[in-house]
Structures are given as structure tokens and as C-alpha cells.
Amino acid sequence: MKSPGYLCETAATGTPRPNPYSAECPTRLVLDRIADKWTVLVIGLLQTGPMRFNRLRRDIDGLSQKVLSQTLRRLERDGLVSRTAFATVPVTVEYALTPLGRTLATTVDALRAWAEDHIAEVRQAQHAYDERAREEREDRP
């Protein structure tokens, strides 16, 4: 039986594995989710322990209530975050990383840390690029 087009065989095992370079590969959906800046920040905060919705919203500057809600819902659907409602008035809802989410947290946190460690170099490169582009525009007839 032929494998779907998004699978490729690995040389070492001969076992078909997902090929994210194929347009049909479902791993692209996961990559899209975890590459989102809000996902990175939410998972980073939840790595410290369970949090309530409003705490997450307060701690992530610039994140709207709507986008936080969408992000949490998607992470819950993907099995990365759990949602627990407590019977209080009003209802208290807490979010936490699932065991699967914890396996991702270290990797995602490494991306955040890399961004913090290298932002000066990135900004310097952006400035140099913008300067070259400006000079090229000025040199055109």
C-alpha cells in the first residue's frame, strides 16, 4: 500500500515519517501554531504553573482578550493546554500545560530566550539592511 504524499521514509529506519516540507503534511498546522508569538508567550508563562485567564492577559502586554481566548482554545484543542473551571461565583477558570505541552515548553522557551539574547544583533542587521535599501533607492535615476 502506498503512503500518503506527505510521508517520507527515513534512511535509518525505513519507517515513513511526516514530511513538513510537503504542502499536504499535517505537521504544518502544528508548526503554524507553535510559531505564533502569542503561543510562545502563553506557553512560556504557563511553564511556571497554572494561571487564570486575566493573569495571562495582564502579564502579556498587547494581547487582547479575544486573541488570548482564541490562542488558549487552539492550544487546548491541540492537547497542549488544559482548562479547568471551578464552581465559584463568578466561575474561575485556570489554564495549565498538559504533559504534551510540557514537552514543548522547553523548546518554545528556548526560542524566547534566543530572541532576548540576540535582539540587538537582529536590530543592527535590520538597520543595516534598511540603510542599504535607502541608499539603493537614492541611487536610482
Per the domain annotation, does 85 fall within a domain?
yes
Per-residue pLDDT at 60: 97
User: What is the reported pTM?
Assistant: 0.79
Q: Give the structural domain span for 56.
A: 36-139
> How crowded is the C-beta side of 113, counted as CA atoms within 13 Å?
7
Per the domain annotation, does 11 fall within a domain?
no
Per the domain annotation, does 91 fall within a domain?
yes
DSSP for the chain reads: -PPPTTEEE-TTT--EEE-TTSTT-THHHHHHHHTSHHHHHHHHHHTTS-EEHHHHHHHSTT--HHHHHHHHHHHHHTTSEEEEEE--SSPEEEEEE-HHHHHHHHHHHHHHHHHHHHHHHHHHHHHHHHHHHHHHHHH--
Question: Worst-scoring range by mean pLDDT, 17-21, 64-68, 98-102, 111-115?
Answer: 17-21
20-74 pLDDT, tens digit per residue, is: 888 888 888 888 888 899 999 999 999 999 999 999 999 999 999 999 999 999 9
The CATH number of residue 56's host domain is 1.10.10.10
Per the domain annotation, does 114 fall within a domain?
yes
Per-residue pLDDT at 137: 85
Per the domain annotation, does 12 fall within a domain?
no
Question: What is the total count of domains within the chain?
Answer: 1
